[in-house]
Structure 1
């Protein structure tokens, strides 16, 4: 039996943040992304939200031996659901594909809950590497919740899988946040968020 695959639409698009093999660009039909919080966590997470008529780009990659243990642990707070029939990809086979999504969430985080810029940077770097500048634009345009404040933790990253961005990638992130009138707060202006 062949290995199953996951579809990543956030940090899992960035192959510098994991070592899962055989990555391929893909598209998930009937979904958008949104910044949400969960009753349990309090951290702001990026999730897929069912949205008929929409689609999001991402990446599929293999889960060798169907050993989901490490990936399930990384995606703590998310449920793994089948998305096989809703994903378009150029893989020569037709593997079973799952996607992680937050099932119980609040679409409007509280004013003291913030997106980590170190996490957003990882996501945007992945989209830039795989899809170029057009993919970065698409990521921002197919994601809801940009009214959620963003904590600038670049100098001392909180996100455990943070990456060093190129100057061009940093400018891309900052320009899109400016375009969306996102509110970026410096660390001294805000309390630290819960553990990611």
Structure 2
């Protein structure tokens, strides 16, 4: 029987946000990331969307004993989608890999009422910097749609439940890349 793994492309790349075993860098072909809002959450968040011309980097990790309950709870606004044949990874044993994606019919564009959280972006980019270096973090920005959406600067009081403390160089990297994208940052009220 194949071992179950997930492919993480957002906060799950940051190994400080979970303790799933056997993490490895991997690539998912035929998908890209997008910032989307859904009626299931008050703020926008990342989802994977099909794109036959794209490939994204991320992290796979093992789901022990095929017990998806904890991960399904964490990713409750997403559907778990089988993607085994689309993932390139270093493992040599038989695995089944799934990715979490917001159902297409529940996706909306982010708005001022439903912005991106800077604390969430920080966590994701920190993960990419640590796993893939600056080049990988730059590829994260390039293969993610929706940088024109409002970004709420919640760093002083993070709203993202798995926020992490960034090193000054990591904060500078995030701020620099968002500035290059002319991403609209709004201050907390």
What TM-score, normalized by structure 2, do the two folds share? 0.96
Find out whether 1:83 has 2:83 as its counterpart.
Answer: yes
Which whole-Å CA distance do the structure 2 matches of 1:127 and 1:63 have between them?
A: 21
Deviation (angstroms), 1:107: 4.4
- For structure 1, list consecutive stretches of 5 or more residues without a partner in the other structure: 189-196
1:5 is paired with a residue of what secondary structure? strand
Which whole-Å CA distance do the structure 1 matches of 2:80 and 2:32 have between them?
A: 16
Corresponding residue number in structure 2 for 1:176:
177
Which whole-Å CA distance do the structure 1 matches of 2:2 and 2:114 have between them?
A: 41
Corresponding residue number in structure 2 for 1:101:
101
Corresponding residue number in structure 2 for 1:48:
48
* Contact 1:147 1:183 (C-alpha < 8 Å) held by counterparts: yes
* Contact 2:3 2:95 (C-alpha < 8 Å) held by counterparts: yes
1:29 is paired with a residue of what secondary structure? strand
1:158 is paired with a residue of what secondary structure? coil
* Contact 1:79 1:100 (C-alpha < 8 Å) held by counterparts: yes
Aligned-pair RMSD on alpha carbons? 1.1
Deviations 1:140-188 (A, max 9, x none): 0000000111011111111111101111110110001000000111102
Find out whether 1:166 has 2:176 as its counterpart.
Answer: no
Equivalent pairs counted in the alignment come to: 188
- Of 53-62 and 92-101, the range deviating more from structure 2: 92-101
Corresponding residue number in structure 2 for 1:121:
122
Corresponding residue number in structure 2 for 1:194:
none
* Contact 1:117 1:153 (C-alpha < 8 Å) held by counterparts: yes
Which whole-Å CA distance do the structure 2 matches of 1:107 and 1:138 have between them?
A: 24
